Amino acid sequence: MTGALERAGLAILGRLDPETAHALALKALRMGLAPLPGPVSSPRLATRLFGRDLPNPVGVAAGFDKQAEALDATLRTGFGFVEVGGVTPRPQTGNPRPRLFRLTEDRAVINRFGFNNGGLAAMQARLRAPRPPGVVGVNLGANKDSADRLDDYVTLVRGLRGLADFLTVNVSSPNTPGLRGLQDRAALDELLAACAEAAEGAALAVKIAPELDETALRDVAETAAARGVSAIIATNTTLARVGLRSVHASEAGGLSGRPLFEKSTRALRLLAGMTELPLIGVGGVDGAEAAYAKIRAGASAVQLYSALVFGGVSLGARIARGLDALLARDGFSCVADAVGADLRGA
């Protein structure tokens, strides 16, 4: 019955403007009008990341719940962890609408939100509210009109340390002009050094773009390790438009979903050969096979967001159960044993 109701809900939402549909989906989650089975787990799925125990390695990526408005419910949908945001120090409205597009034929999404959010104070208030057990991260960004972007990140780290299990330094959104320049080695080193000092031991991740070449990926890997970063998230959305069929293919913004899978997995695989840091694979995870491929390519965990547009919030639980079956099929006793299996020829 729950599956039929979710499919009916998705059909209705699919007829609406995508941003309106997104807001209604979050409202339905808050009201309990969605499958809420609780964390899906097994001895094979249980893993550890950011010094925290995860029931499974399948997470919600930043962008799904920008304001942490449905955090309680999202933690009950079956995912192993949740990342909210992106948040900036000051509230900002983001780019003009329309700024979110479904590419149904391509199982993809283009967004150019521009870090629309209620700011640091609103995020702090929501994270201080009681919530169910679960691992929660916050994605950090800079205000579009900021005079000092490094200070923006430091302000966010100081304001959110202790309120979340990890903080993601997002230097890869394509929708804030100039932000991706912070991935350059010198700029990234200065930024991560400042954030690490401000974090006072809190776990930090850094999220990178899929367009980085091997030299740039090695720079990120070495800089992140040197500055005590806990994980690298690979990757954010892409600006590429290859082989798309949708009428929305030419819209400006970051492309996510199925077309990003190969590019993001290539970056992940290269990073896995460059660093011992845990990696989180993002981009095109829309089923258990895709999640498993990311893990075998070097990811300790995966995240998804765009696939929820087409598969509903129950998708996380379905992927986790499917992943459990795949691990069992191939004789892995736990997720950690499968991480990087393709690199080892296992």
Do 269 and 343 meet the contact criterion of CB atoms below 8 Å apart? Answer: yes
Paired tokens of 18: 């995508």
β 231-234/204-208 pair status: parallel
Phi, psi angle pair for 234, to nearest 5°: -130, 105
* Helix 315-329 with 288-296: angle, nearest 10 deg: 60
Query: What token pair was written down for 172?
Result: 């890869």
List the helix and strand counts (H, then E) for the chain.
13, 13
d(CA 298, CA 343): 8
Asked about 173 being catalytic, the answer comes back as: yes
* CA–CA gap between residue 316 and residue 304 (Å, rounded): 8
Which pair of structure tokens corresponds to residue 249?
């293919």
Joined together, the tokens standing for residue 267 give 């970056």
DSSP-H helix ranges across 1-41: 2-13, 18-30
β 52-54/204-208 pair status: unpaired
DSSP H stretches of helix in 132-260: 149-160, 185-199, 214-226
Marked catalytic residue, from 41, 42, 172, 173: 173
Residue 291: which H helix or E strand, with range?
helix 288-296
Return the beta strands (E) in the chain as ranges: 47-49, 52-54, 58-60, 81-87, 100-103, 108-111, 135-140, 166-170, 204-208, 231-234, 254-257, 279-282, 301-304
So which residues are the catalytic ones?
173
